């Protein structure tokens, strides 16, 4: 697995029961959106579920008065290749669950 994004912290985990790859990425740049790709070897990615922690600022937090100021937005993306384009907002946390298209199941 390669992630073609500079200034990004990343951690990957593999579920050996179904072949899913879980990737956690942090864009450390506080001012710029980063565009890149997640490239995998072997089987193509069937689909991806992307979770983004979203708020008006990297300093934002939830309160009793504003319980949804920071929230998690989830998107399911059909992929069908070994390359998944990714957009990382400034100073953001994104997790990606990738399901393999061949061998190992997944949905």
d(CA 96, CA 94): 7
34-73 pLDDT tens trace: 888 888 888 888 999 999 999 888 789 999 999 999 999 9
**Total-model pTM:** 0.77
Q: Which residues contact 23 (CB under 8 A, 6 or more apart)?
A: 1, 3, 10, 11, 12, 13, 38, 95, 96, 97, 98
The mean per-residue pLDDT over the stretch 17-45 comes to 87
Q: Which domains does the chain have, with CATH numbers?
A: 2-100 (2.60.40.1180)
Rounded CA separation 37/25 (Å): 12
Question: Looking up tokens 């937090």, which residue turns up?
Answer: 61
């Amino acid at each position: 697995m390669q992630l073609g994004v500079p200034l990004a912290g990343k951690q990957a985990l593999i579920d050996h029961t179904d072949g899913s790859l879980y990737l956690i990425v942090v864009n450390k740049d506080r001012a710029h959106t980063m565009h890149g790709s997640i490239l995998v070897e072997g089987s193509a990615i069937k689909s991806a579920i992307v979770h983004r922690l979203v708020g008006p600022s990297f300093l934002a937090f939830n309160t009793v008065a504003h319980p949804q100021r920071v929230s998690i937005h989830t998107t399911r993306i059909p992929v069908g290749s070994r390359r998944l384009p990714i957009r990382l907002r400034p100073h953001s946390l994104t997790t990606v669950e990738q399901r393999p298209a061949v061998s190992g199941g997944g949905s």
